[in-house]
């Protein structure tokens, strides 16, 4: 009995020494946990928002809201920052459609004063407004864009024709590239340009000088004219008539009256 008890004590001592050695190699570990509550915390982020105001200027045409071959017209696009973040933007003309068989949209050119040369997909210079797209513009540096439209043809078939189109305006967060992430927004505005019904000079013929029209009413009756040699000696002339003759013409208007006695005024 005593021997068995001694063996158990020996085994426990050996196990304790082994654990002590192992802990000296691996170290001692303990786990603690705690939780604290803090109030009045806030996370602040920026916002990217904008509005667009369109304002057409006047041309020298009649009416002044239309375009004609010798007079340009300007559309003023003003972008207002309503959020907290500055942004970049671009403007593109889309869905340009002429309202008649004459493609007046193809006869319109637009310039923004920044990119004066426009290119189509083939890389050729083109005046067509359908290919217009601005470059990247920083809003804080240029908050408005003035688009100058001009008519490149004086073909009479373009008169009273309208080109309808849309402005596609895209904005994105300043400091980032377009379509690279971050905040972004866009708006679409419908607009149109109508060609003035100007008058071509050759369509207004001028009447030759001195040409006119005689109008009046004559009454057949016996008239008496005076002898030029003796005003008091009347001579009967049954072939004379009296009345008024009116002359109308480009050279001027006037009226000739006869008194039946030989006098004209």
The pLDDT score that the predictor gives to residue 28 is 55
β pairing state of 241-249 and 162-173: unpaired
The total of other beta-carbon atoms located within 10 Å of residue 188's CB is 13
Q: Do residues 178 and 232 both lie within one domain?
A: no
Give the 3-state DSSP-derived string for the chain, with helices as H, strands as E and coil as C: CHHHHHHHHHHHHHHHHHHHHHHHHHCCCCCCCCCCCCCCCCCCCCCCCEEEEEEECCCCCCCCCCEECCECEEEEEEEEECCCCCEEEEEEEEEEEECCCCCHHHHEEEECCCCCCCECCCCCECCCHHHCECCCEECCCCCEEEEEEEECCCCHHHCCCEEEEEEEEEEEECCCCCCCCCCEEEEEEEEEEEECCCCCHHHCCCCCCCCEEEEEEEEECCEEEEECCEEEEEEEECCCEEEEEEEEECCCCEEEEECCCCCEC
Q: Do residues 217 and 190 both lie within one domain?
A: no
pLDDT of 242 above 80: no
Does residue 166 contact residue 77 with C-beta atoms inside 8 Å? Answer: no
Task: Indicate the number of domains in the chain.
Answer: 2
d(C-alpha 113, C-alpha 72), whole Å: 14
Q: Do residues 83 and 130 both lie within one domain?
A: yes
Q: Do residues 189 and 140 both lie within one domain?
A: yes
Q: Is there a domain that residue 235 lies in?
A: yes
Q: Is there a domain that residue 203 lies in?
A: no
Q: Do residues 145 and 235 both lie within one domain?
A: no
Q: Do residues 239 and 190 both lie within one domain?
A: no
Q: Do residues 153 and 221 both lie within one domain?
A: no
pLDDT band at 225 (very low <50, low <70, confident <90, very high): very low
Average pLDDT score over the chain: 75
The pLDDT score that the predictor gives to residue 55 is 96
Separation in Å, CA 121 to CA 33, 95, 128: 66, 16, 12
d(C-alpha 81, C-alpha 183), whole Å: 13
Q: Is there a domain that residue 207 lies in?
A: no
Q: Is there a domain that residue 11 lies in?
A: no
Tokens encoding 59: 């041309």
Q: Do residues 123 and 216 both lie within one domain?
A: no
β pairing state of 241-249 and 212-220: antiparallel
Q: Do residues 219 and 183 both lie within one domain?
A: no
CATH of the domain at 98: 2.60.40
Tokens encoding 51: 């509005």
Residue 217: domain span: 212-258
pLDDT band at 8 (very low <50, low <70, confident <90, very high): low
pTM of the model: 0.59
Q: Is there a domain that residue 27 lies in?
A: no
pLDDT of 56 above 90: yes
Residue 197 contacts by C-beta under 8 Å, 6 or more apart in sequence? Answer: 159, 160
Q: Do residues 224 and 133 both lie within one domain?
A: no
| Dihedral class, residue 93 (left if φ above 0, else alpha if ψ from -120 to 50, else beta) | beta
Q: Do residues 60 and 187 both lie within one domain?
A: yes
Q: Do residues 66 and 193 both lie within one domain?
A: yes
Q: Is there a domain that residue 31 lies in?
A: no
The pLDDT score that the predictor gives to residue 187 is 96
Does residue 107 contact residue 129 with C-beta atoms inside 8 Å? Answer: no
Q: Is there a domain that residue 131 lies in?
A: yes
Burial class (CB in 10 A: 0-12, 13-18, 19+), 6: exposed
The pLDDT score that the predictor gives to residue 46 is 85
Share of the chain above pLDDT 90, in %: 41
Q: Is there a domain that residue 64 lies in?
A: yes
Can the peptide bond before residue 63 be classed as cis, meaning omega within 30 degrees of 0?
A: yes
Tokens encoding 226: 């005076």
């Amino acid at each position: 009995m005593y021997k068995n008890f001694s063996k158990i004590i020996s085994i426990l001592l050996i196990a304790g020494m082994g654990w002590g050695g192992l802990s000296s190699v691996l170290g001692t570990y303990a786990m603690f946990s705690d939780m604290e509550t803090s109030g009045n915390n806030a996370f602040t982020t920026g916002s990217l928002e904008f509005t667009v105001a369109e304002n057409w200027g006047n041309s020298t045409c009649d009416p002044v809201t239309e375009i004609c071959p010798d007079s340009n017209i300007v559309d003023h696009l003003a972008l207002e920052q309503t959020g907290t973040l500055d942004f970049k933007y671009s403007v593109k003309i889309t869905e340009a459609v002429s309202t008649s068989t004459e493609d007046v949209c193809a006869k319109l050119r637009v310039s923004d004063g920044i990119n004066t040369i426009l290119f189509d997909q083939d890389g050729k210079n083109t005046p067509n407004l359908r290919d217009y797209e601005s470059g990247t513009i920083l809003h804080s540096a240029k908050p408005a864009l003035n688009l100058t439209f001009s008519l490149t043809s004086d073909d009479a078939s373009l008169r009273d024709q309208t080109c309808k189109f849309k402005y596609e305006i895209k904005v994105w967060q300043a400091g980032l590239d377009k379509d690279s992430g971050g905040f972004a927004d866009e708006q679409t505005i419908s607009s149109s340009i109508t060609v003035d019904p100007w008058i071509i000079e050759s369509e207004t013929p001028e009447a030759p000088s001195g040409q006119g029209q005689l109008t009046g009413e004559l009454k057949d009756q016996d008239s008496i004219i005076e002898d030029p040699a003796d005003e008091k000696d009347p001579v009967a002339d049954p072939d004379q008539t009296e009345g008024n003759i009116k002359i109308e013409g480009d050279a001027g208007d006037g009226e000739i009256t006869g008194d039946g006695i030989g006098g004209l005024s």
